[in-house]
Structure 1
Amino acid sequence: MTKFPELAIPLKLGSLTLKNRVIMASLTRNRASPGGIPNDLMALYYKQRSTAGLILSEGAFIEEIGGEWLNAPGIHTPAQIAGWKKVTSAVHSANSLIFAQLWHIGRVAHPYHQNGRPNVGPSAVKAEGGEFRLLEGKPGYVQPVAIEDPQVYVEMYRRAAKNAKEAGFDGVELHAANGYLPHQFLESHSNQRTDAWGGSVEKRARFVIEIVKVLIAEWGGDAKRVGIKLSPAGGYNDMGDTDDVARAQYTYLIQELDKLNLGYIQLSQGWPSPRANKLVVLNEFRPLIKNAHVFFNTNLTGEIAEQQLTGKFPGVAAIQGAVFGRPFISNPNLPELLQTGGALKDSDYKTYYTPGADPSTGYTDY
């Protein structure tokens, strides 16, 4: 029985073919080995969830940098590349595809997790609030050091894309959402530069656009092997410009990205927070995207996803991919369950980021 036929239709992404339109979101799970090295347990975890048409890997650090995620994987050392090869091979053996999500957390890192190395941002403006669950005393965010030459970080992303290709990934996604470094360059309150990288809509967009261009170049000019995640409404890590500022910023950015003919633009509504704006992301920005596929990610159900994919969701043109996050944690066969109407299992939040004595618990034992 196929309850949601549109979700089951394969999707062409350049030369790639997704076997269905159920996409697994990036989910930090903190199971990497010391040194941020992906391991056999991670390979099993991703293979179990290769029922997805496309897997977006958990965020992979593009340089040695900390955060609250001490066992998150990296993609900047030979050992990490070798570890990811186990993961990509496992996914491919199960007839699925996997993109590497490239991650730098910028100003929301903490020096205590970096051997005293300061966190960085587009400007020396700290995020408000913050919580580092693995640090005693619960310190909040601290003021970052302004990046002197953003081109250095563009080059870091290029190297990460090269490493992802070597590791056997099918493509890469730039994490430019959720208050991480590229997002910090986009917003006027976190980017107060007056040089070529800030001070106007066009200049604040430059960092993201330059990164996407080098990612495409690293993949031999195959723009369809590159995607990006955006959260224009903010709502996490003290992000969110006003409605008017965000609308202008993301209208320009998305139109410029779409000219690059990249594989997809993943839009996320984000989370409520004091700084979040009131933009309804899909309604605002879906009409601007003419060339790239549109993926949507935020609290989807099978019913909502099917409506969005068929263009029957009120006020929104059809999208091409439905991104599911937490349901994939406890339901490795999520596409099948959606189609048959099977009951979805709940996941245990306590095991999301803090593995117990047996790291497989709440990870590969569902």
Structure 2
Amino acid sequence: MASFATPLRLGPLLLKNRVIMASLTRDRNRVPGPLQVEYYTQRAGAGLILTEGTFIEPIGAEWSNAPGIYSDEQVAGWKKVVDSVHNHNGRIFLQLWHIGRVAHPLLQDGRPNVAPSAIAAKGGKFRQLEGTPGYVTPVAIEDPEHYVALYKRAAERAKEAGFDGVELHAANGYLPHQFIDNTSNQRTDQWGGSAENRCRFPLRIIDEISSVYGNDRVGIKLGPGGGYNDMGMTEKDTVETYGYLIKELNARRIAYIQIARYWALGDPVKRGTPIDIFQWRGLIDSSHTKFFVNTEYNSEDGTKALQDGSADAIVFGRFYISNPDLAERLINNQELNTNFNMKGFYGGSAEGYTDYPTYEQQHKAQ
């Protein structure tokens, strides 16, 4: 019976525990610097760190200081992060990110937003810039293989930086998710229509980045329930599509499949479907591909999922913002810090970023 403290074999890696740090956009620096080295090193107690979403090309994100992996300077910056995490006995994967049609239209340097089809998302609100320009109608991508090649190049750069592996972000309404979902993908070529065709884009990316890292150092994040960024199919289409996709991913023997639960707060236009993510558990062979679960997990929920074997590891997001030593707190059954500094969530400096105390520091101060 597994617990948070139980080590986990992930491909060639042995993770020291089953507490995974989720990808968390904090909008601090396009090129990782000393602040990012400190931030990630503070959290090296995690069994595995998944970096914040990292752009595979210069793109107009609403987060104007989100990092990339498309320049030599960024590779050098990330290498310092990776080296420090490794020096503190941590493991770290880079999350590969392209946001497609939901890029901020005013931050695109005159380039159009792109997507599988020329269909705008609904309900767009951007955190930066005054007003709400909202989502715009994107230009349909002519050749998806161009973007597959961008992901592969980003994986090559991640390997140069020394990352232990890479994760494809195929959830949250970003580019791979836009291909998967039949509300955003209405193509009539080999990249659209059937579940097989709509899943072709993420699977092509997985194959190419696996050629760089090896399949057992590659993971993927999926969000079948949709909601965020105007994603979500009917329950029937969701079950069919993700059943096919997960079978194909399992056959490729990748390191892990991370599935996020539906999150109502991230679904302003009520597009998503609260769906049971554990219906696909039986399609994943944990002897070679681990099953990670994410979204709104606490200590009790996570403990239960590990004990009954319904998940191999638990991915924590917001708790890793305010608890740099979250893994240690969960393993030792210590109280979690729920005092979030909202000012430091997106953008800024050390405040609300690297100034959260460990359990020991917190209690020394009392």
Measured against the shorter chain, the TM-score band is: over 0.9
**Would you say the 8 A contact 1:110–1:118 is kept in 2?**
no
Q: Give the equivalent residue in structure 1 for 2:279.
A: 284
Which position in structure 2 is the counterpart of 1:227?
A: 219
Structure 2 CA distance, aligned partners of 1:50 and 1:350?
24
Name the counterpart of 2:320. 328
- Paired residue for 2:253? 261
CA deviation after TM superposition for structure 1 residue 96, in Å: 0.6
Once residues 163 and 51 of structure 2 are traced to their aligned partners in structure 1, the CA distance between those partners, rounded to angstroms, is 9
Which amino acid letter does the alignment assign opposite residue 259 of structure 2? L
Gaps of 5+ in 1: 312-316
- Structure 2 residue aligned with 1:17: 14
The residue correspondences of 1:1-366 to structure 2 (distance < 5 A) are 6-32=3-29, 36-219=30-213, 222-272=214-264, 273=267, 274-281=270-277, 283-290=278-285, 291-311=288-308, 317-345=309-337, 346-355=339-348, 359-366=349-356
For residues 47 and 128 of structure 2, what CA distance do their matches in structure 1 show? Answer: 34
> Structure 1 residues 38, 230: CA separation in 2 closer, same or farther (over 3 Å shift)?
same
In 2, Cα distance between equivalents of 1:277 and 1:85? 39
User: Could you tell me the TM-score, scaled by structure 2's length?
Assistant: 0.93
Question: Per-residue deviation at 1:5?
Answer: 6.5
Q: Does the 8 A contact of 1:178 with 1:270 survive in 2?
A: no
1:98 and 1:340 mapped to 2: Cα distance? Answer: 23
Give the secondary structure class of the aligned counterpart of 2:3.
helix
| Percent of pairs with identical residues | 55
Instruction: Report deviation, 1:58.
Output: 0.3
Deviation at 1:342, TM superposition (A): 2.2
Structure 1 CA distance for aligned equivalents of residues 61 and 19 of structure 2: 30
Greater shift, 318-327 or 76-85, is seen at 318-327
After superposing on structure 2, the runs of 4+ consecutive aligned residues of structure 1 that deviate more than 4 Å are none
Structure 1 residue 279, shift from structure 2 partner? 1.4
C-alpha separation in 1, matches of 2:327 and 2:281: 25
How far has the Cα of 1:46 moved from its partner?
0.1
In the alignment, residue 341 of structure 2 is paired with which amino acid? D
User: Any idea what SS the aligned residue of 2:177 has?
Assistant: helix
Instruction: Tell me the secondary structure at the aligned position of residue 157 of structure 2.
Output: helix
Deviation at 1:277? 1.3
Distance apart, 1:137 and its partner CA: 2.1
Distance across 1 between alignment mates of 2:78 and 2:149: 21
Q: Quick one: distance in 2 between partners of 1:7 and 1:340?
A: 9
What CA distance in whole angstroms lies between the structure 2 residues aligned with 1:288 and 1:191?
25
Deviation at 1:236, TM superposition (A): 0.2
Structure 1 contact 100–164 (Cα < 8 Å) conserved:
yes
Paired residue for 1:314? none
Q: Partners of 1:192 and 1:240 in 2: how far apart?
A: 14
Q: Distance in 2 between matches of 1:336 and 1:95?
A: 14
Deviation for aligned residue 1:301: 1.4
**Cα offset, 1:302, TM superposition:** 1.6
On the 8 A contact 1:65/1:114 being kept in 2, the answer is yes
Give the TM-score normalised by structure 1.
Answer: 0.93
How far the C-alpha of 1:344 sits from its partner, in A, is: 1.5
* CA positional deviation for 1:349: 2.3
- In the TM superposition, residue 278 of structure 1 has moved relative to its aligned partner by 3.0
Q: Which moved more, 1:56-65 or 1:126-135?
A: 126-135
Separation (CA, whole Å) in 1 of partners of 2:57 and 2:10:
29
**2: CA distance, partners of 1:122 / 1:5:** 41
In structure 2, runs of 5+ residues without a counterpart are 357-366
- 1:326/1:354 Cα in 2 relative to 1: closer, same or farther (>3 Å)? same
Give aligned pairs, total: 349
Question: Structure 1, residues 292-325: CA drift from partner, whole Å, max 9, x if none?
Answer: 10000011112211211121xxxxx532111111
For residue 275 of structure 1, give the secondary structure of its aligned residue in structure 2: coil
